[in-house]
Structure 1
Amino acid sequence: MVDKQDGSGVRIWFILLPRKMKAFILISADVFFAMLALWAAFALRWGEWYAPKPDEWYLFAAAPVIAVPIFIKLGLYRAIIRYMEVRALWTIIQATTLYALVFAFVLHESGIKGVPRTVLPLNWLNIMLLVGSSRFFARWWLGEVYLNLGGARGVKTHSKKNVVIYGAGNAGVQLASALSYGREFRPIAFIDDDERLHKQKVNGLRIYPLSSFRYLIERHQVTDVLLALPSASRSRKSEIIRSLEPFAIHVMSMPGLSDIAQGKVTVDVLQEVDIADLLGRDAVAPDQSLLHANIAGKVVMVTGAGGSIGSELCRQIIRLQPNTLILFEMSEFALYAIEKELRHLLAKCCVNSGAGDSIDNSGDIKLIPVLGSVADAKRCEKICRTFKVQTIYHAAAYKHVPMVERNPGEAIRNNIFGTLHSAQAAIKSKVETFVLISTDKAVRPTNTMGATKRFAELILQALSLNTADNSTRFTMVRFGNVLGSSGSVVPLFKEQIARGGPVTVTDERIIRYFMTIPEAAQLVIQAGAMGRGGDVFVLDMGEPIRIVDLAKRMIHLSGLEVKDEDHPDGDIEISYTGLRPGEKLYEELLIGDNVSKTGHPRIMRAQEHVIPWDELQNMLVILEHATEDDDFELIRGVFANAVTGFVPQCDIEDMLWKEDRRLVNKSDLSDQRYSDIS
């Protein structure tokens, strides 16, 4: 039904008309306007009600005949009225000016006497005013009812949310203009830090200081604030987000300028605030020589290529022009997903050669997916020999602390012996560079995962000492948590907030270092190029963050209130579950204090205790037998002797699934096995 008392029925009827019918109505209106403008020009000139003379009627017939073809040629009937912008006025001025000039020429050639010269400029002004004002009136008249058209078509509609745009620059103005045509948001004001803009108006929206934000929320029931700061640095965005936290309002942001410029998204595409912006940490420009040193023109293999870090390494490596990139992964689906993504990237870069995201000679880069496990020594060696691998980035590992604590045997096979087999394959195949992705949990570990990663570091350090038999350069890169990785707390918090809570935090005091996955991968590549052999590099992770503070900020930025004793009517409760098996309150990046700077401000070199290969080899033999026998007491004994500061947090009874517990008594083991680790 379109019969509405407020007249919107007529507007809906017009919107639903076929395009050709709308064009016919516009042309008919312009025919009338052409004659009306000419009549008004004569009337204004003579200052009285004007009645055309017999020979002047020819001019009234000629006016629309001249105007309509010109308007058609200049596209006045191709524009969608409800989406017209101010710049369309220039087209209207051009069309009416051209019409006025042609009309003046026709009048001059017609020989009609007695037409005052002032009629011509008055005719031009009148037609420009009538044509222009009619279109902008129609834009206003049709605009609002179009947004409710879904109701006329039987579609359930919802009211638009009142939003404030933070940033009154070009991006903010474009965003406000784009949102005004949408169905979801209604911009009601701008906020900007520039005092010179305060109390000014842009497109009818007033610009306020941040101090007026609470007033805007209460006056207009604002539900969201949209950050229109695509070129702002992360530290600046973090500062702004912190200033908005007390308001418990949903914060969204525009995409970055690079994404807009490359056509990946449009200016009106809004997204949740990037958690990386909460860190306030701006990436340091990479050293291009370090990025290319181990990759450009070489055969590169990434183990664990389908994981969080491994996949990002692959994305960055493919842009650095390797000869061949080998994706080594034990998960079939993960391997399929990363290969598909990289092939799409290569194909896109071939098509968009010369674009900002293009890869030179992308068609020549070989991409080889390989299913396999690093625990399979023969498979690792065969791959390295067959493809003549020159650089390996070893990202394959089990990293989820509680899961590894429950399945220590598999973690030892993968994290320790997987690293050993990969390193030995690299040595036998004359691989030039081997880079291990390590973790801050390897420092004074309280869990099995951290102990296995530190043991993996010890293996590479020991192998580096055997320079006579080894030409491979081993490097280890140690860093903390990465945002958005599998097992990361950030996606868990998002999921919990989306379903209404509660948000679970293990301990109110727990703190962690965080870094974005792209920055971590980029620094890993650069650190790998710095290594001389046996180096342990530590990435500068910035300041640690309390997990409970991160949870509160994410709740506030979702437009919700934390429910606690001070706010019993809040929306989302934070519950504390207690530390999980093997979990620490805080993580460290250095075992000792012996650390030195490198040429990169975010990369440090650590000098730490090394166990000679002969001694470590004995431990590996014991560790292998103990793992086969599920002798976790013996495994802990090996870790306690090899890994500095290893203090397991949970009992062995807590490490195992009850139905699979198969502990071996010490009395069943030979004294020799224990004497080797005493």
Structure 2
Amino acid sequence: MQSKIDLSLFDGKNVLLTGGTGSFGKKFTEIVLREFNPNSLRIYSRGEFNQYLMKQEFNDKRLRFLIGDVRDRDRLYRAMNGIDIVVHAAALKQVPACEYNPIEAIKTNIDGSVNVIDAAIDNSVEKVMAISTDKAVHPVNLYGATKMVAEKLFVQGNTYTGKGRTRFSCVRYGNVIGSRGSVIPLFNEQKKSGVLTITDERMTRFWLTLDQGVRFVLNSIQQMRGGEIFVPKIPSMKITDLAEAIAPEATKEFTGIRPGEKLHEIMITEDESRHVKEFPDHFVIEPEFSFWKRENTPSGKELPDNFRYSSDINDKWLTSEQLKKML
């Protein structure tokens, strides 16, 4: 995905990863510690036990573990002292949980984003990359709506930097194979009973692996100038084909689309496409309101009118064999 990553990207840098004990955080830590040479990597998260397990797993002197919540502004300020690069992956992500606890979702996903932005600017952090989701596009649930707002905050956070050096960007991508909350662990569990539940046979989704997601984030950090939303070109798959690949012998039971769920996911809308640059393996959504000075932005191909990057009309599709290899 994208251009080759410069292995000196993190040389001598101090990096902070919010939500660092999650699926993305653990894979990010694994790749960065193995392939790069940061001065330190600070894992910022709420759970002490998950941090303990992660410390046992990696046992690397460059790791620092900080207990903290992105809602806690003062703690974030202390955590970002001396930091060069922030990757913001902390969020409440479960759709039903966000609907049942809407104010909590806003406190973490929106207010927490504001705290990250303020702490980064006031600590003169060089780069901040926020992890977003296709759920932020035409959101139909509160989780998607909070991530849409978070995207706007990080793009326009560049306005608040003034003459400072801090720059903010986002990555937006689809479902991660095997991550917590993915349908694949559910299908693997249901496989034991011989019955897989599928909400709607027409459903399609974008898919990528954790490794691909992390490398896309690393590439985007390398390329970012501030204000971009980076979108990878990744394959789609029908949910029925996914179920067939995981458990071909199982009975497929259709239960009806769930509240807050879409038939298809969109990563770039027709309106966004007017300010998108296309590259061989990714898109860059440029900021519409760049009230700050942007320099050395790469030139890409413009998209045709009414272009939409959606999982149902994608030109790349996963086969069952490709999915099995990714699993």
The normalised TM-score by structure 1 is: 0.41
Q: Distance in 2 between matches of 1:610 and 1:418?
A: 23
Report the Cα offset of residue 485 of structure 1: 0.5
Q: Distance in 2 between matches of 1:288 and 1:375?
A: 32
Out of 18, 27, 30, the position equivalent to 1:303 is 18
Q: State whether residues 401 and 581 of structure 1, in contact with CA within 8 Å, keep that contact through their aligned partners in structure 2.
A: no
2:218 paired residue number: 525
Matched, 1:288 2:288: no
Q: State whether residues 324 and 368 of structure 1, in contact with CA within 8 Å, keep that contact through their aligned partners in structure 2.
A: yes
Q: Distance in 2 between matches of 1:608 and 1:390?
A: 23
* Structure 2 portions without partners, runs of 5+: 293-327
1:580 paired residue number: 258
Matched, 1:596 2:277: yes
Q: Which amino acid aligns with 1:403?
A: A
Q: State whether residues 25 and 89 of structure 2, in contact with CA within 8 Å, keep that contact through their aligned partners in structure 1.
A: yes
**Bigger proportion of residues as helix:** 1
Deviations 1:22-61 (A, max 9, x none): xxxxxxxxxxxxxxxxxxxxxxxxxxxxxxxxxxxxxxxx
Out of 40, 65, 87, the position equivalent to 1:369 is 65
Report the Cα offset of residue 611 of structure 1: 9.5
Report the Cα offset of residue 470 of structure 1: 3.8
Matched, 1:506 2:175: no
1:382 paired residue number: 78
Q: For residues 602 and 432 of structure 1, do their structure 2 counterparts lie closer, same or farther at Cα, with a shift above 3 Å needed?
A: same
1:322 paired residue number: 38
Matches of residues 162-311 of structure 1 in structure 2 within 5 Å? 284=1, 287-289=4-6, 292-293=8-9, 295-311=10-26
Report the Cα offset of residue 578 of structure 1: 2.0
Q: Which amino acid aligns with 2:213?
A: A
Q: For residues 584 and 391 of structure 1, do their structure 2 counterparts lie closer, same or farther at Cα, with a shift above 3 Å needed?
A: same
Q: Distance in 2 between matches of 1:400 and 1:533?
A: 29
1:434 paired residue number: 128
Report the Cα offset of residue 469 of structure 1: 5.1
Q: Distance in 1 between matches of 2:14 and 2:23?
A: 21
Report the Cα offset of residue 318 of structure 1: 1.1
Deviations 1:205-234 (A, max 9, x none): xxxxxxxxxxxxxxxxxxxxxxxxxxxxxx
Out of 241, 249, 252, the position equivalent to 1:549 is 241
Deviations 1:532-559 (A, max 9, x none): 11111111112x1111211012112xxx
Matched, 1:468 2:147: no
Deviations 1:140-190 (A, max 9, x none): xxxxxxxxxxxxxxxxxxxxxxxxxxxxxxxxxxxxxxxxxxxxxxxxxxx
Deviations 1:464-500 (A, max 9, x none): 12342542110100000000100101111001102x2
Q: Distance in 2 between matches of 1:456 and 1:340?
A: 33
Matched, 1:339 2:76: no
Greater RCO, 1 or 2 (C-alpha within 8 Å, sep 6+): 2
2:168 match: secondary structure:
strand
Q: Distance in 2 between matches of 1:467 and 1:378?
A: 19
Q: For residues 502 and 376 of structure 1, do their structure 2 counterparts lie closer, same or farther at Cα, with a shift above 3 Å needed?
A: same
Out of 145, 154, 157, the position equivalent to 1:451 is 145
Q: Distance in 2 between matches of 1:492 and 1:609?
A: 40
Q: Which amino acid aligns with 2:205?
A: R
2:267 match: secondary structure:
coil
1:393 paired residue number: 87
Q: For residues 491 and 369 of structure 1, do their structure 2 counterparts lie closer, same or farther at Cα, with a shift above 3 Å needed?
A: same
Q: State whether residues 325 and 366 of structure 1, in contact with CA within 8 Å, keep that contact through their aligned partners in structure 2.
A: yes
Q: Which amino acid aligns with 1:448?
A: L
Q: Distance in 1 between matches of 2:164 and 2:140?
A: 33
1:403 paired residue number: 97
1:450 match: secondary structure:
helix
Q: Distance in 1 between matches of 2:94 and 2:131?
A: 15
Q: For residues 415 and 611 of structure 1, do their structure 2 counterparts lie closer, same or farther at Cα, with a shift above 3 Å needed?
A: farther
Q: State whether residues 393 and 434 of structure 1, in contact with CA within 8 Å, keep that contact through their aligned partners in structure 2.
A: yes
Q: Distance in 2 between matches of 1:464 and 1:587?
A: 28
Q: State whether residues 523 and 603 of structure 1, in contact with CA within 8 Å, keep that contact through their aligned partners in structure 2.
A: no
Q: State whether residues 5 and 222 of structure 2, in contact with CA within 8 Å, keep that contact through their aligned partners in structure 1.
A: no
Identity, % of aligned positions: 38
Q: For residues 610 and 445 of structure 1, do their structure 2 counterparts lie closer, same or farther at Cα, with a shift above 3 Å needed?
A: farther
Matched, 1:496 2:175: no
Q: Which amino acid aligns with 1:376?
A: D
Q: Distance in 1 between matches of 2:291 and 2:253?
A: 47
2:308 paired residue number: none
Q: Which amino acid aligns with 1:378?
A: D
**Bigger proportion of residues as strand:** 2
Q: Distance in 2 between matches of 1:505 and 1:490?
A: 12
Q: State whether residues 458 and 610 of structure 1, in contact with CA within 8 Å, keep that contact through their aligned partners in structure 2.
A: no
Q: State whether residues 2 and 219 of structure 2, in contact with CA within 8 Å, keep that contact through their aligned partners in structure 1.
A: no
The normalised TM-score by structure 2 is: 0.83
Deviations 1:400-459 (A, max 9, x none): 222222221111111111111011100000000100011011111111111111101111
Q: Distance in 1 between matches of 2:162 and 2:2?
A: 38
Matched, 1:605 2:284: yes
Q: Which amino acid aligns with 2:281?
A: R
Q: Which has the larger Rg?
A: 1
Deviations 1:623-678 (A, max 9, x none): xxxxxxxxxxxxxxxxxxxxxxxxxxxxxxxxxxxxxxxxxxxxxxxxxxxxxxxx
Aligned residues: 288
Q: Distance in 1 between matches of 2:55 and 2:289?
A: 38
